[in-house]
Amino acid sequence: MVTVNPVRLIPRWYTVTVVTVLVLATLLMVGLSLTVGGVMGWSTWGLVATFGLLLISAVSALVRRRRPRDPQVTADGVRVFVAPAATTWPLVGAWLAGLVVAALWAYIAVTDFSALESPGFSLLTIVGAVGSLPDLVRLLTGRLHRWRLELGPDTISYRGYRTAETWPWSKVHGARIQPRGPAGVAIDVKGAGADPVIPITAFAVPAEQLVEEIERAKAAARR
């Protein structure tokens, strides 16, 4: 278990900026929702849900204090770290709410284009929603992953978003903290190619603990 104070990887200014923007956006959408009716009003309430859920996820991912926590341990000794529900499920909810908003705006664009408050932004939102439909299919078929790190006796596995990789310990040099791009823990995998990075925003434990757990599990696998 990590005993030192964890290094702050997410700058305070970034956290404050993201949370402030989402708070203001949510409040703005609430104000607009109280003045707009009909289908446009429904879409505005959808934006309230979108920004509100993004705010919950951002607070969990950025504001949450990261402290050492014991992982889940399965019956066969696999140590498991999973992204907090408060980070993942609001994020999924915000995405689905955004798809509903895009669908409503598409309906308005077809039936009464002049009713759109901001046609350019609305069309960009619709295009973005259409572009995200392949990921929706991945989500519904179980190929879009909640962030998860598993350290077993023989292998290390990481799943996150579209990534799902498993390596034998013989292929892993170790792990290190990566301060940016994204901030998190890089797994040093033997061979060519970029090392996979576990984003620290997806987990509730310090990066130092993940590095320590990976190094300990690798050392145990040599015995």
Domain that holds residue 204: 145-222
The number of folded domains in the chain is 2
Is residue 78 in a domain?
no
Question: Containing H/E element for 53?
Answer: helix 38-58
191 in the same domain as 93: no
> Up-side HSE of residue 214: CA atoms within 13 Å toward CB?
27
Is residue 4 in a domain?
no
What pTM was estimated for this model as a whole? 0.90
Domain boundary among 77, 108, 140: 140
Find out whether 89 and 97 touch, Cβ atoms under 8 Å.
no
Is residue 216 in a domain?
yes
Is residue 74 in a domain?
no
Q: How far apart are the first and last CA of the chain?
A: 21
Is residue 128 in a domain?
yes
47 in the same domain as 119: yes
d(CA 10, CA 93): 24
168 in the same domain as 195: yes
Predicted local confidence at residue 192, as pLDDT: 61
Which residues make Cβ contacts (< 8 Å) with residue 222, sequence separation at least 6? Answer: 169
182 in the same domain as 123: no
The pair of structure tokens assigned to 216 is 């300990």
Q: What is the pLDDT along the chain (223 residues), one digit of tens a residue?
A: 544 567 789 999 999 999 999 999 999 999 999 988 888 889 999 999 999 999 999 999 999 999 999 999 999 999 999 999 999 999 999 999 999 999 999 999 998 888 887 888 899 999 999 999 999 999 888 889 999 999 999 999 999 998 899 999 999 999 999 998 899 999 999 886 788 999 999 999 999 999 999 999 999 887 6
Domain boundary among 140, 159, 180: 140
93 in the same domain as 164: no
Is residue 188 in a domain?
yes
131 in the same domain as 115: yes
